[in-house]
């Protein structure tokens, strides 16, 4: 068989890589564009600020926006301190060994569990066993469990990226470990930690299965943590699945996509701050 | 002359590796002592014993005594924070915190709880004057320390240590990241500082040791081979191995 010249192999390789990259990009753009084209025309201030009528066939999505932020925000508020504390303990306060391996392995496994399983667990544990019912707090606690592994691992990475020379300098000047962590390590790791938190917030906002079984699907405005609520993603699912209104469904999806897009851009911006400072 | 800090039969193990073997050395006060020897001879390890920095590494076992002004720094109840305050350290690569120049200097004061105020600004000025950095940075005390040149950064790191008023300065190859001119400047600075501080410097550079130090210790494979006045060590070494190293036959 005749050998193909390296120059031609190189050309073919570049061609293939370029094509697949373009394919990935166009799929992504297609989905976003499709939903925005379908949804944007129905988007209006009234849609964003009014309550739904007739199961969501008419009116807006204001209670869902509030509900989404309550559930996702509360989840992040609970998960962030626990996650950061765990990451600090794993990186600064303990030596690598069986225990850290188990915690890390466990976190990685938890991160891979399908969200419907979290939903089922949250339903059985928080809603039924602890008697919280279908509520904002049940949903938030379930999401907390779901995003905790991500927050721990991203915070760990961010803390590990702080150069050891700063730790030595701090010890050399007679600081305690806690002073070193709070005054040197955490401020430097903060942008990276925040990136993980923002991405987790995005994941909480877009979650459907886990909140369906725990926060419920009430259409009314949630007034307390024990009220049931319906998040945007779930609202979209119900509108389209029950065939209530495809226009409203796409408009809801557009809001979700724009929200996630904004959050991811923010996360990227934070990431850039880290690289700029370390660079 | 009483030693400022001395070791008595100091042994250090990294797990199974015997890194320091029965080291006995008495460092004279208010002078510069250079520790020389080939890579891996244990000179940095010995330096890091003096402020107990080795204990940050997992699996380190230390035997023997280290006496600071006659007091064992390993005895129970030794205040590690106070020890590191008395025995300051300057590292191989300049490592100012990514903070402002002034905040770098006051870091030590802040962790030791000195209340901010006029005292802080006096200390900032005095420590920067001591390393001859003041004139260069006095108008930009609140700009980032990382914007300084490597030499200025190393001066800043020395100022940062001086701000906590140590008695001993440990310097772990403080010029290895600097060019020859900056090295020259730092050496001048060390000579000035040796009037009030006990300085122990680890260096790969034998010219540097002979230029700057009054006492020299030669180490080889974890053992202290020879210790004495630098002039004697360099001109009339007593041990064959010292002579071989100094004449450049190995290392």
Residue ranges per domain, chain A?
Answer: 42-277
Of B56, B85, B98, the CB nearest to A174: B85
Q: Measured between alpha carbons, how far is A84 from B98 in angstroms, rounded to an integer?
A: 22
The DSSP secondary-structure symbol of B165 reads -
Q: Measured between alpha carbons, how far is A136 from A79 in angstroms, rounded to an integer?
A: 15
Q: Measured between alpha carbons, how far is B146 from A279 in angstroms, rounded to an integer?
A: 11
Q: What is the pLDDT of residues B224-247, one digit of tens each?
A: 999 999 999 999 999 999 999 988
Residue of B98, B100, B153 to mutate when probing chain A, most A C-beta within 10 A: B98
Q: Tell me the backbone φ, ψ of residue B207, rounded to 5 degrees.
A: -60, -40
Query: Which chain A residues have a beta carbon less than 8 Å from that of B58?
Result: 95
Q: What was the ipTM of the complex prediction?
A: 0.90
CA A54 to chain centre: 31
Q: What is the mean pLDDT of residues A116-130?
A: 96
The DSSP secondary-structure symbol of B179 reads -
Q: Which residues pair with A67 in a beta bridge?
A: none
Above 90 in pLDDT, residue A55? Answer: no
Query: Nearest chain A Cα to B160, which residue?
Result: A173
Q: What is the pLDDT of residues A24-44, one digit of tens each?
A: 999 999 999 999 999 999 999
pLDDT of residue B169: 95
Angstroms from B239 CA to nearest CA on chain A: 35
CA atoms within 13 A on the CB side of B166: 33
Above 80 in pLDDT, residue A276? Answer: no
pLDDT of residue A273: 74
Q: Measured between alpha carbons, how far is A33 from B182 in angstroms, rounded to an integer?
A: 59
pLDDT of residue B43: 94
Element of type H or E holding B27: strand B17-27
Query: Which chain B residues have a beta carbon less than 8 Å from that of A176?
Result: 81, 111
Handedness of CA A164, A165, A166, A169 (dihedral sign): positive
pLDDT of residue A246: 92
Q: Tell me the backbone φ, ψ of residue A25, rounded to 5 degrees.
A: -60, -40
Above 60 in pLDDT, residue A92? Answer: yes
Above 80 in pLDDT, residue A277? Answer: no
Query: Nearest chain A Cα to B94, which residue?
Result: A165
Q: What is the pLDDT of residues A158-187, one digit of tens each?
A: 999 999 999 999 999 999 999 999 999 999
Fold annotation for A42-277 = MetI-like fold (1.10.3720)
Q: Measured between alpha carbons, how far is A169 from B95 in angstroms, rounded to an integer?
A: 7
Query: Which chain A residues have a beta carbon less than 8 Å from that of B173?
Result: none
pLDDT of residue B1: 60
CB contact under 8 A, A188 and B51: no
Q: Measured between alpha carbons, how far is A205 from A68 in angstroms, rounded to an integer?
A: 6
Q: Tell me the backbone φ, ψ of residue B98, rounded to 5 degrees.
A: -75, 55
Residue stretches of chain B with pLDDT short of 70: 1, 250-251
CB contact under 8 A, B93 and A170: no
Q: Measured between alpha carbons, how far is A63 from A66 in angstroms, rounded to an integer?
A: 5
Q: Measured between alpha carbons, how far is B62 from A104 in angstroms, rounded to an integer?
A: 32
Query: Which chain B residues have a beta carbon less than 8 Å from that of A173?
Result: 84-85, 88, 107-108, 111, 160-161, 164
Q: Confidence class of residue A114 from pLDDT cuts 50, 70 and 90?
A: very high
């Amino acid at each position: 068989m005749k050998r193909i010249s390296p120059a031609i192999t190189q050309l073919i390789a570049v061609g293939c890589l370029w094509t697949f990259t373009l394919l990935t990009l166009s799929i992504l753009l297609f989905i976003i564009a499709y939903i925005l084209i379908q949804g944007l025309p129905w988007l209006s201030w009234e849609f964003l600020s009014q309550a739904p009528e007739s199961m969501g066939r008419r009116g807006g999505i204001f209670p869902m926006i509030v509900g989404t932020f309550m559930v996702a925000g509360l989840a992040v508020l609970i998960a962030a301190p626990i996650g950061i504390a765990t990451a600090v303990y794993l990186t600064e306060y303990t030596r690598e060994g069986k225990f850290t391996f188990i915690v890390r392995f466990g976190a990685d496994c938890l991160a891979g569990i399908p969200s419907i399983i979290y939903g089922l667990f949250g339903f059985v544990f928080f809603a039924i066993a602890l008697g919280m019912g279908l509520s904002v707090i049940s949903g938030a606690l379930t999401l907390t469990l779901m995003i905790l592994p991500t927050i721990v691992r991203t915070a760990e990475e961010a803390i590990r990226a702080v150069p050891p020379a700063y730790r030595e300098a701090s010890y050399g000047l007679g600081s305690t470990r806690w002073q070193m962590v709070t005054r040197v390590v955490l401020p430097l790791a903060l942008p990276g930690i925040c990136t993980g938190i923002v991405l987790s917030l995005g994941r909480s906002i877009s979650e459907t299965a886990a909140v369906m079984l725990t926060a419920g699907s009430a259409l009314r405005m949630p007034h307390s943590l024990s009220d049931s609520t319906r998040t945007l993603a779930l609202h979209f699912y119900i509108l389209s699945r029950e065939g209530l209104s495809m226009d409203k469904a796409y408009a809801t999806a557009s809001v979700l996509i724009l929200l996630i897009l904004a959050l991811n851009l923010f996360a990227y911006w934070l990431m850039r701050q880290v690289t700029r400072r370390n660079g | 002359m009483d030693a400022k800090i001395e070791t008595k039969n100091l042994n250090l193990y990294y797990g199974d590796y015997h890194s320091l073997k029965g080291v006995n050395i008495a460092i004279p006060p208010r002078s510069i002592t250079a520790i020389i020897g080939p890579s891996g001879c244990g000179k940095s390890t010995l330096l890091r014993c003096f402020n107990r920095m080795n204990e940050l590494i997992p699996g380190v076992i230390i035997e023997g005594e280290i006496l600071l002004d006659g007091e064992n720094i390993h005895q129970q109840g030794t205040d590690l924070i106070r020890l590191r305050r008395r025995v300051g350290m300057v590292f191989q690569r300049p490592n100012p915190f990514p903070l402002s120049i002034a905040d770098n200097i006051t870091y030590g004061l802040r962790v030791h709880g000195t209340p901010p105020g006029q005292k802080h600004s006096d200390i900032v000025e005095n420590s920067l004057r001591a390393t001859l950095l003041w004139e260069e940075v006095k108008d930009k005390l609140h700009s980032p320390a990382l914007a300084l040149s490597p030499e200025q950064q190393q001066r800043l790191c020395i100022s940062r240590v001086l701000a906590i008023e140590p008695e001993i300065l440990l310097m772990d190859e403080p010029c290895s990241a600097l060019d020859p001119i900056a090295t020259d400047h730092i050496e001048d600075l060390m000579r000035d500082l040796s009037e009030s501080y006990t300085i122990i410097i680890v260096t790969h550079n034998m010219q540097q040791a002979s230029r700057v130090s009054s006492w020299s210790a030669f180490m080889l494979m974890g053992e202290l081979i020879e210790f004495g006045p630098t002039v004697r060590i360099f001109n009339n070494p007593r041990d064959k191995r010292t002579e071989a190293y100094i004449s450049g036959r190995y290392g």
